[in-house]
Amino acid sequence: MTFTLLIEQILNGLQFGVMLFLMASGLTLVFGVMGLINLAHGSLYMVGAFACAAVATATGSYWLGLAASLVFAALAGVLVELAIIRKLYTRGHLDQVLATFALILVFSEGTRWLFGSFPLYLNVPEILSGAVVLPGGIQYSLFRLLIIAVGFAIAGGLLALIHKTRIGIQIRAGESDREMISALGVDINKLYTIVFALGAALAGFAGALVGSIQSVQVGMGEPVLILAFVVIVIGGIGSIKGALVGSILVGVVDTLGRFLLPILFGAFMDPSSATAVGSALASMLIYMVMAGVLFFRPTGLFGLNA
Amino acid sequence: MTLTRETAINAVLFVGLLIAALIAYLLDEPFIITMATKVAIFSIAGIGLNLALGYGGLVSFGHAAFFGFGGYVAGILANHALNNTLVFSWPIEMAGTNSMLMIWPVAIFLSALVALLIGVLSLRTSGVYFIMITLAFAQMIYYFAISWPAYGGEDGLPTYIRNSFPGLNTLNPIEFFLICFVWLGVSLMLCSAIVHSRFGLALQGTRQNEQRVTSVGIDPFRVKLVAFVISGGITGLAGTLYTDLNRFVSPSVFSWQTSGEIMVFVILGGVARLFGPLAGAALFITMEFTLGGMTEHWQLWLGLLLLFVVLYTPGGLIGVLTSGRGKDV
Amino acid sequence: MKKLGAFLAGLSALALIGTAQAEPVKIGMITTLSGGGAGLGIDVRDGFMLAVKNSGNSDIEVVVEDDQRKPDIAVQLADKMIQSEKVDILTGIIWSNLAMAVVPATTAQGKFYLSPNAGPSALAGKGCHKNYFNVAWQNDNLHEAAGAYANDAGFEKSFIVAPNYPAGKDALTGYKRFFKGTIANEIYTQLGQKDYAAEIAQIRASGADSVFFFLPGGMGISFMKQYAGSGVDIPLVGPAFSFDQGILQAVGEAALGVKNTSQWNKDIDNAANKAFVAGFQAEYGRLPSLYASQGYDTANLIISAMGKASVSDADAFRSALEAADFDSVRGDFKFGPNHHPVQDIYVREVIKEGDVFTNKIIAKGLSNHSDAYAVDCSM
């Protein structure tokens, strides 16, 4: 193991964390403001990826595809919010879980109906593909570097939105006291729709970016959804800052765990079983971290109330 | 008024399941008996979950851990009996067994023990944090089960035949159904007894207002923990029966989808309704197999149906049938 | 082209008339038709149904059900097929873990099971059964061929990657069984993992001269796209599963030139294969995949056995299956003593034909290859 390899793995962890943040920020906003558990958030991620792949293939332009991912995911978000989610705000968490679980089935099977059962093609545009050499001689994928940059830019933008703008004040007010904010004359329904669409657009955008380097297929959203939940719970629900810290923590711990644990076990086991045991433990690692965090801080790192 | 009506509906559901299986037996349709058995088994799992989730307000997204644990106890013991090997030899020698009468208590005890461990760690949190920490524990076990080679890893563990019960041929669908049906009855009675006991009242009181319960000298943590442990034990029992139904167990029983499915059964039927899990499981499994035969895209229609149920029929199926408002959790 | 298919179908139907006694056969197909892995099941089903249609044999009835890729659902469907539908033969399962759930229960009830895809080692060795036939491959086969190819290509130091589950371990074992060089590192990834940046970084640093990977489905798509974008240029070798017709379009340029091993390709030169490829395209409007070819062969094997024996006479029908007297799209095909194929395994290279990414055969990896478990099987 060399020092450059370690640095490269930390970059990989950062990049993974930033992707998780795009998912988790929407989820945590929707939960914080509306008190809604949205299992279908992963479906919006999938919608973004499929929209990007379809539009990029049809038009030949990756950038149009990226724009489409934002537009279509936001549109899907607005539609779902108006038709279904709106009725769930006053319900208990259990009804929300069941309804959004049903939405997963509808989205997944609907997408398969529209696009067929085979994965779609979506690739990084020529200009962003390949690797660059960083100071210290580290070769690193240009697209991944860009994801890290874009991710942090969005995180900064979101924090500014929440803390500096009028709508941010409304959102924060909505988190702490729902009756109060509608009493102040804010159109609460409109605010909810906007927040939901924002979360959906972020998820769709994440789906498009990830789809470019992974695979665009039905069911791609659920594994990420589980990780995004882990993130927001570690960070503290409703907190954008918490989501950011949680994402980076999960991303780096997971990546380094996969990389270092087999090496660690290799010190006192034969290579084959060391990799097997090490990677088994690595796949459990983030859940252990989460359980550990919640054990010592039952409302997450930055959470106020449950 | 609703109480008597609910009682009548409960009776129809319970007896209806038995009659459906018996008619299927007379018509020589063993697959329908298998489906009825599946309904009974998932109802038991749901009853276990309902105790924690419905009555105790402990929304666990990790009951697959107990379901799977029970399942693997049955699988592992039967597998060792089949190969005539020891499960472990220290500190005492433990041989495998294929007798249900042996497997059940072991499975219930171990599942309850796992629930105790998870409960002690998880019950410090509440709300969504509790949902996610229970999920985290189930996920840990899931990934462990996939990559641990001793009992088949992701390939799972076939037991080839069902475990045995004195005097019955468990491979005969109707006889195995009756075993599960009796367990369903026992679970319902147990759940009913718990809910109406002093402990059950304390549990429901804890759900509604923790401070009030504390003020009369009850430790809410302990009440919730006991409920969680009983809940885990019942769900674990369902897991062993499910292994026997399939003559096979695999890590997919630990997956978050399994937790989700059991939860859907409970919510669909009606949260904190004694017979809710039975109604939910019966509807879901019937839909799954009839829609599945009709269209490749059946999951779309199932999703729309679930949406309809949750949006327009608060209180779940039992709630609709009794036209009473569901209990909020 | 459609005419050729119809003509050949007519021929085979004619051949059947000579020997067949009209004994209806009911086949239960349990395969994955919904969810993320549906593409494979759909291909197996379509290939199978094409062969049934081409045979013109009206005595075959096929019942198809969706297992949702869940082992418990698959077992319950098998019960339904056997107990309620009263099928004679079961087939269709894609995944090893589902096969492990269904096959022992099926053969224990005296029914035939013909696997069009999964070939777990547990069913090829001690767990073999006289009523279980695998028409595709034993799981290790394609990986073994990859190891043999790596020797031929002069590779000396391989970096090997597979998911951490039994089929993944079989894959690396299979590769190592034939590869004579050293192993730079072996890595087990999480099942379903989609980000391979960490692994690719290790590959870059390893100093290996070749990379063997077994990452089926979406995992492979992700790996190859990321590998191509990483700037690492160590040659890749893998089994056909990541280079199949169904997913190759999703990988695109990133797969071009990669060598992979398969027992079938659309350019294998024999009449049966030509008729199959043309017939499949005419019927479904897409190129057939490996899985479709396996489904097609499975159906033709059953049809050939029906021509020789009645399915109600289990011993005679089994002998007819063992004879494997059908024109496989792979060319020569026969069963080993454990009812698994003895066949040639080819090395293919990913190419682009017009707009479509596909494979062409460049060499033979292993000839008349059996499997390592046959010696443990006693029937």
Q: Kindly determine whether residue A218 and residue C221, on different chains, have CB atoms separated by under 8 Å.
A: no
**Together in a domain, C309 and C205:** no
Q: Is the pLDDT of residue A295 over 90?
A: no
Q: Kindly determine whether residue A214 and residue C249, on different chains, have CB atoms separated by under 8 Å.
A: no
Q: How many domains does chain C have?
A: 2
Domain annotation covers residue B328: no
pLDDT tens digits along A219-254: 888 888 989 989 998 999 888 899 999 999 999 999
CB B60 within 8 A of CB B75: no
Position C36 confidence tier, pLDDT thresholds 50, 70, 90: low
pLDDT tens digits along C330-376: 998 999 999 999 999 999 999 999 889 999 999 999 999 999 999 99
CB B130 within 8 A of CB B58: yes
Tokens 């399942």 sit on residue = B71
Q: Is the pLDDT of residue A305 over 70?
A: no
**Together in a domain, C258 and C215:** yes
Question: Tens place of pLDDT for every residue, chain B, 329 residues?
Answer: 455 788 888 899 999 999 999 999 999 888 899 999 999 999 999 999 999 999 999 999 999 999 999 999 999 999 898 888 888 877 778 888 889 999 999 999 999 999 999 999 899 888 888 988 898 899 999 988 987 878 888 888 888 888 899 999 998 999 999 999 999 999 999 999 999 999 999 999 999 888 888 888 889 999 999 999 999 999 999 999 999 999 999 999 999 889 999 998 998 888 889 999 999 999 999 988 888 777 778 888 889 988 988 888 777 788 888 764 444 43
Domain annotation covers residue B162: yes
CA C113 – CA C134 distance, rounded (Å): 8
**Together in a domain, C102 and C213:** no
Q: What is this model's ipTM?
A: 0.84
Three-state DSSP at B117 gives helix
Distance from CA of C267 to the nearest CA of B (A): 32
**Together in a domain, C356 and C327:** no
**Together in a domain, C190 and C74:** no
Neighboring chain A residues of B327 at a CB cutoff of 8 Å? none
Pick A266 or A24 by higher pLDDT. A24
pLDDT for C20 equals: 45
Domain annotation covers residue B258: yes
pLDDT for B325 equals: 44
Three-state DSSP at B54 gives helix
Q: What share of chain A is helix, strand, coil (3-state, %, to 5)?
A: 75, 5, 20
Position C92 confidence tier, pLDDT thresholds 50, 70, 90: very high
Q: Kindly determine whether residue B248 and residue C75, on different chains, have CB atoms separated by under 8 Å.
A: yes
Site from A90, A234, A239, A294 to mutate, B interface, most B CB atoms within 10 angstroms = A294
CA B233 – CA B48 distance, rounded (Å): 8
**Together in a domain, C73 and C181:** no
Mean pLDDT of A84-94: 87
Position A304 confidence tier, pLDDT thresholds 50, 70, 90: low
Q: Is the pLDDT of residue C301 over 70?
A: yes
Parent domain of B6:
2-321
For residue A2, give the nearest of C195, C205, C231 by CB distance: C205
**Together in a domain, C365 and C242:** yes
Position C43 confidence tier, pLDDT thresholds 50, 70, 90: very high
- The 3-class secondary structure across chain C, one letter per residue, is CHHHHHHHHHHHHHHHHHHCCCCCEEEEEEECCCCCCHHHHHHHHHHHHHHHHHHCCCCEEEEEEECCCCHHHHHHHHHHHHHHCCCCEEECCCCHHHHHHHHHHHHHCCCEEEECCCCCHHHCCCCCCCCEEECCCCCCHHHHHHHHHHHHCCCCEEEEEEECCHHHHHHHHHHHHHCCCEEEEEEEECCCCCCCHHHHHHHHHHCCCEEEECCCCHHHHHHHHHHHHHCCCCCEEEEHHHHCHHHHHHHHHHHCCCEEEECCCCCCCCHHHHHHHHHHHHHHCCCCCHHHHHHHHHHHHHHHHHCCCCCCCHHHHHHHHHHCCCCECCECCEECCCCCEEEEEEEEEEEEECCEEEEEEEEEEEEEECCCCHHHCCC
Q: Tell how many helices (H) and how many strands (E) occur in chain B.
A: 13, 4
Three-state DSSP at B99 gives strand
Mean pLDDT of C186-206: 88
Q: Is the pLDDT of residue A306 over 80?
A: no
Domain annotation covers residue B327: no
- CB neighbours of C85 closer than 8 A, spacing ≥ 6? C26, C28, C63
pLDDT tens digits along B22-54: 999 999 888 899 999 999 999 999 999 999 999
Q: Kindly determine whether residue A294 and residue B124, on different chains, have CB atoms separated by under 8 Å.
A: yes
Parent domain of C372:
141-262+345-376
Q: Kindly determine whether residue C231 and residue A131, on different chains, have CB atoms separated by under 8 Å.
A: yes
Q: Kindly determine whether residue A223 and residue C194, on different chains, have CB atoms separated by under 8 Å.
A: yes
pLDDT for B5 equals: 82
Q: Is the pLDDT of residue C283 over 80?
A: yes
Q: Is the pLDDT of residue C10 over 70?
A: no
Parent domain of A138:
12-218
Lowest-pLDDT range, A86-95, B83-92, C27-36? B83-92
For residue C104, give the nearest of B143, B158, B298 by CB distance: B158
Site from C202, C215, C253, C291 to mutate, A interface, most A CB atoms within 10 angstroms = C202
pLDDT for B156 equals: 87
Position C24 confidence tier, pLDDT thresholds 50, 70, 90: confident
Domain annotation covers residue C340: no
Neighboring chain B residues of A98 at a CB cutoff of 8 Å? 263-264, 267-268, 306, 309-310
CB B78 within 8 A of CB B104: no
Q: Is the pLDDT of residue A30 over 70?
A: yes
CB atoms within 10 A of CB C239: 30
**Together in a domain, C157 and C297:** no
**Together in a domain, C128 and C241:** no
Q: Is the pLDDT of residue C227 over 80?
A: yes
Mean pLDDT of C120-134: 92
Q: Kindly determine whether residue B136 and residue A230, on different chains, have CB atoms separated by under 8 Å.
A: yes
Domain annotation covers residue C38: yes
pLDDT for B153 equals: 84
CATH number at residue C10: 3.40.50.2300
CA B257 – CA B298 distance, rounded (Å): 17
Domain annotation covers residue B210: yes
Distance from CA of C28 to the nearest CA of B (A): 13
**Together in a domain, C65 and C31:** yes
Position C17 confidence tier, pLDDT thresholds 50, 70, 90: very low
Q: How many domains does chain B have?
A: 1
**Together in a domain, C318 and C195:** no
**Looking at chain A, which subunits does it touch, using at least 3 CB pairs closer than 8 Å as the criterion?**
B, C
Lowest-pLDDT range, A178-187, C122-131, C188-197, C303-312? A178-187
pLDDT tens digits along C138-162: 999 999 999 999 999 999 999 999 9
**Which residue type, as a one-letter code, is found at position B216?**
V
pLDDT for A120 equals: 87
For residue A291, give the nearest of B127, B133, B329 by CB distance: B133
Q: Kindly determine whether residue C230 and residue A112, on different chains, have CB atoms separated by under 8 Å.
A: no
- CA angle A250–A193–A180, rounded 5-degree value: 95
**Together in a domain, C121 and C33:** yes
Q: How many domains does chain A have?
A: 1
Tokens 């086969």 sit on residue = C141
Domain annotation covers residue C222: yes
**Looking at chain C, which subunits does it touch, using at least 3 CB pairs closer than 8 Å as the criterion?**
A, B
- CB neighbours of B280 closer than 8 A, spacing ≥ 6? B46, B264, B265, B266, B267, B268, B269, B270, B316, B317
CA B206 – CA B55 distance, rounded (Å): 9
Q: Is the pLDDT of residue C4 over 70?
A: no
CA C226 – CA B306 distance, rounded (Å): 39
CB B48 within 8 A of CB B231: yes
Q: Is C105 on the interface with B (CB under 8 A)?
A: yes
Distance from CA of A95 to the nearest CA of B (A): 6
Which chain A residues touch B if contact means CB-CB below 8 Å?
31, 37, 84, 87, 91-95, 97-99, 101-106, 108-110, 112-113, 226, 229-230, 233, 237, 276, 279-280, 283-284, 287-288, 290-291, 294-295, 298-300, 303, 306
For residue A87, give the nearest of B131, B303, B311 by CB distance: B311
Domain annotation covers residue B329: no
